[in-house]
């Protein structure tokens, strides 16, 4: 299956990403085959598309489709080539056709057939090793979110703890959710909860079972804002013992928040 090109621009604020982009810029002017290695979400596909902007993108796991594309294309981007069911046959077909290929791999690996095909191989480090790239990426995602949600928003970088566990994928998801919640209205929030509960309701005692969806966010935000249980119980109009009981009943979720 031919994939859509990742529209995220490749950020070059760090030394590592700047070097990767320089390599890609050089490859754009040459006719050699290249292998780009790195974790999911580091920008491999973006750089591959920069090198071969008109090439189709096909995942190596779609083996038959890759073979068909090799016969019909002059340039091709093959993602996750390390997952190919038959790397030797794949490489032989590419060499026989004289196809220009830029491939990506989630891992560095030694393979004699790979070594025969790719004149240039380079690695893109994960975002946790490219700290300088994180803030520019966040700014890109905020602009994207503003376009999608149709509103300008001021993003609070100071109180934002970036999630780069899946590199730009987890960071983009986190920014999008934050931007969505920034402008969410009561009706929209209730609709989200309703959609969630739609697939969950049906057992006995559902009211008490799902009450935490309301209580946990209320207690979390209240403790952050008012700093003490005494202040929070007063603002909520609850007896302090009642609040303590609610905190104890929801300790599983409240402890997760503290650990984060």
Taking phi over 0 as left and psi of -120 to 50 as alpha, with beta for the rest, 34 belongs to beta
Are the C-beta atoms of residues 34 and 27 closer than 8 Å to each other?
yes
Looking at the structure, do residues 179 and 206 belong to the same domain, yes or no?
no
Q: How many CB atoms lie within 10 A of CB 167?
A: 24
- Whether residue 51 is contained in a domain is answered as yes
**Alpha carbon distance 165, 128 (integer Å):** 8
Residues 21 and 121 occupy one common structural domain: yes
Q: Which domain holds residue 174?
A: 131-183
Say if 1 falls within a structural domain.
no
Measured CA to CA, the distance from residue 184 to residue 49 in angstroms comes to 35
Task: Please provide the size of the chain in residues.
Answer: 260
Cα→Cα distances 113→86, 93, 110, 119, Å = 11, 11, 9, 12
Does residue 4 sit within a domain?
no
Residues 74 and 152 in one domain: no
**Calpha distance 39→107 (Å, rounded):** 7
**Residue 227 structure tokens:** 């700093």
Whether residue 35 sits in one domain with residue 119 = yes
- 101 shares its domain with 170: no
> Are 17 and 133 within 8 A, CB to CB?
yes
Identify the weakest region by mean pLDDT among 15-24, 90-99, 157-166, 181-190: 181-190
- pLDDT given at position 115: 86
Residue 207's CB is within 10 A of a number of other CB atoms, namely 8
Answer whether 213's CB lies under 8 Å from 193's CB: yes
**pTM of the predicted model as reported, rounded to 2 decimal places:** 0.74
Looking at 100, 125, 150, the residue that finishes a domain is 125
pLDDT surpassing 70 at residue 195: yes
Cα gap 56→7, rounded to integer Å: 14
pLDDT value at residue 202: 86
**Are both 56 and 109 inside the same structural domain?**
yes
Structure tokens at 257: 């928040």
Q: Are residues 121 and 205 in the same domain?
A: no
Any domain includes 192: no
Q: Are residues 158 and 215 in the same domain?
A: no
Q: 37 and 112 share a domain?
A: yes
Model confidence at 215: pLDDT above 70? yes
pLDDT higher than threshold 90 for residue 256: no
pLDDT at 178 over 80: yes
Residues 144 and 121 in one domain: no
Does any domain span residue 7?
A: no
* Each residue's pLDDT tens digit, 48-69: 999 999 999 999 999 999 999 9
Instruction: Name which of 156-160, 173-177, 230-234, 236-240 the model is least confident about.
Output: 156-160
User: What's the number of domains the chain is made of?
Assistant: 3
Q: Indicate whether 208 belongs to any domain.
A: yes
Q: Looking up tokens 């997952």, which residue turns up? A: 83
Q: Are residues 230 and 163 in the same domain?
A: no
- In 118-250, alpha helices (H): 131-149, 168-182, 186-198, 206-209, 212-226, 229-236, 240-249
Instruction: State the DSSP string of 75-126.
Output: EEEEE-GGG-S-HHHHHHHHHHHT-EEEEEESS----HHHHHH-SEEEE---
The answer to whether 53 touches 100, Cβ cutoff 8 Å, is: no
107 occurs within a structural domain: yes
Question: Could you tell me if residue 85 is inside a domain?
Answer: yes
Q: Do 25 and 120 lie in a common domain?
A: yes
């Amino acid at each position: 299956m031919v994939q859509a090109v990742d529209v995220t621009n490749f950020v070059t604020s760090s030394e590592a990403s700047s070097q990767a982009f320089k390599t890609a810029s050089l490859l754009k002017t040459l006719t050699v085959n290249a292998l780009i290695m790195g974790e999911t979400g580091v920008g491999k596909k973006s750089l591959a598309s920069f090198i071969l902007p008109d090439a189709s993108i096909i995942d190596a796991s779609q083996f038959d489709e890759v073979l068909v594309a090799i016969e019909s294309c002059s340039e091709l981007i093959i993602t996750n080539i390390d997952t190919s069911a038959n790397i030797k046959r794949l490489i032989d077909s590419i060499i026989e056709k004289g196809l220009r290929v830029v491939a990506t791999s989630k891992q560095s690996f030694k393979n004699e057939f790979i070594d025969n095909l790719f004149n240039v191989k380079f690695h893109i480090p994960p975002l946790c090793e490219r700290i300088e790239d994180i803030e520019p990426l966040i700014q890109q995602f905020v602009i994207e979110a503003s376009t999608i949600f149709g509103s300008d928003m001021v993003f609070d970088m100071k109180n934002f703890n970036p999630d780069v566990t899946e590199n730009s994928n987890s960071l983009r998801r986190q920014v999008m959710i934050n931007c969505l919640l920034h402008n969410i209205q009561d009706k929209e929030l209730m609709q989200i909860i309703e959609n969630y509960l739609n697939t969950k309701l049906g057992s006995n005692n559902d009211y008490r079972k799902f009450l935490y969806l309301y209580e946990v966010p209320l207690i979390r935000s209240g403790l952050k804002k008012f700093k003490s249980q005494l202040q929070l119980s007063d603002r909520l109009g609850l007896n302090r013992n009642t609040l303590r009981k609610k905190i104890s009943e929801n300790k599983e979720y409240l402890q997760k928040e503290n650990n984060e």
